[in-house]
Amino acid sequence: MSAIESIQVDGEWRAALGGAQREVWDPADATTLARVAESDRSDVDLAVAAARRAFDGGPWPRTPVSERAALLRRVADLLQRDRETIALVESRDTGKTLEEGRVDVDDVTAAFRYFADLVVSEGAGRVVDAGSSEVHSVVAYEPVGVCALITPWNYPLLQASWKIAPALAAGNTFVIKPSEITPLSTVHLVRLLLEAGLPAGVAGLVTGAGDPVGARLAEHPQVDLVSFTGGLVSGTKVARAAAATVKKVALELGGKNPNVVFADACATDEGFDTAVDQALNAAFIHSGQVCSAGSRLIVEESVRERFVTELARRAERIELGRGTEEGVECGPLVSRQHWEKIQAYVASALADGAVLRCGGGRPEPAAHRPAAGFFFAPTVLDHCHRNMRVVREETFGPLLTVETFRTEEEAVALANDTEYGLAGAVWPAEAGRARRVAGRLRHGTVWINDYHPYLPQAEWGGFGRSGVGRELGPTGLAEYREAKHIYQNLAPRPVRWFTG
Ligand code: NAD
Cα torsion 439, 441, 447, 450: sign: negative
User: Which residue among 39, 93, 96, 150 has the greatest number of ligand 1 atoms within 8 angstroms of its CB, and so is best to mutate?
Assistant: 150
Please report the pLDDT score of residue 500 as a whole number: 87
Strands 7-9 and 12-14, sheet pairing = antiparallel
Beta bridge partners of 260: 298, 426
How far apart are alpha carbons 405 and 383 in whole angstroms? 12
Contact 400, 284 (CB under 8 A): yes
Question: Residues of the chain whose pLDDT is less than 50?
Answer: none
How far apart are alpha carbons 167 and 185 in whole angstroms? 18
Nearest Cα to 160, choosing from 142, 171, 148, 145?
Answer: 148
Cα distance from N-terminal residue to C-terminal residue, the chain: 81
Q: Which residues line ligand 1 (CB under 6 A)?
A: 150-155, 159, 177, 179-180, 210-211, 214-215, 218, 229-231, 234, 237-238, 252-255, 291, 394, 396, 422, 462, 467
Torsion angle defined by CA atoms of residues 65, 68, 72 and 78, in that order, rounded to the nearest 10 degrees:
150
User: Which residue among 6, 39, 154, 460 has the greatest number of ligand 1 atoms within 8 angstroms of its CB, and so is best to mutate?
Assistant: 154
Please report the pLDDT score of residue 3 as a whole number: 81
Please report the pLDDT score of residue 4 as a whole number: 85
For ligand 1, what atom is nearest to the CA of residue 178? 9
How far apart are alpha carbons 456 and 116 in whole angstroms? 12
Q: Which residues of 229-242 are buried (b: 16+ CB within 10 A; e: fewer)?
A: bbbbebbebbbebb
Please report the pLDDT score of residue 461 as a whole number: 98
**Tens-digit pLDDT profile for residues 378-414:** 999 999 999 999 999 999 999 999 999 999 999 999 9
Please report the pLDDT score of residue 46 as a whole number: 98
Please report the pLDDT score of residue 165 as a whole number: 98
Which entry of 90, 180, 252, 310 is annotated as an active-site residue? 252
Active site residue 291: yes
Strands 481-489 and 355-358, sheet pairing = unpaired
Active site residue 90: no
The secondary structure of 373-385 as a DSSP string is S-----EEEES--
Please report the pLDDT score of residue 486 as a whole number: 98
For ligand 1, what atom is nearest to the CA of residue 230? 30
245, burial (CB in 10 Å: exposed 0-12, middle 13-18, buried 19+): middle
Spacing, Cα 231 to ligand 1 middle (Å): 4
Spacing, Cα 279 to ligand 1 middle (Å): 25
How far apart are alpha carbons 59 and 198 in whole angstroms? 10
**Tens-digit pLDDT profile for residues 194-221:** 999 999 999 999 999 999 999 999 999 9
The residue whose CA is least distant from atom 22 of ligand 1 is 210
368-to-324, 352, 387, 404 alpha-carbon distances in Å:
9, 35, 38, 37
Number of CB atoms found within 10 A of residue 294's CB = 28
CA angle 174, 177, 178 (to 5 degrees): 130
**Tens-digit pLDDT profile for residues 216-231:** 999 999 999 999 999 9
Number of CB atoms found within 10 A of residue 271's CB = 15
The residue whose CA is least distant from atom 8 of ligand 1 is 179
The residue whose CA is least distant from atom 35 of ligand 1 is 230
State pTM to two decimals: 0.97
Mean model confidence pLDDT for the chain? 97
Which entry of 147, 291, 330, 384 is annotated as an active-site residue? 291
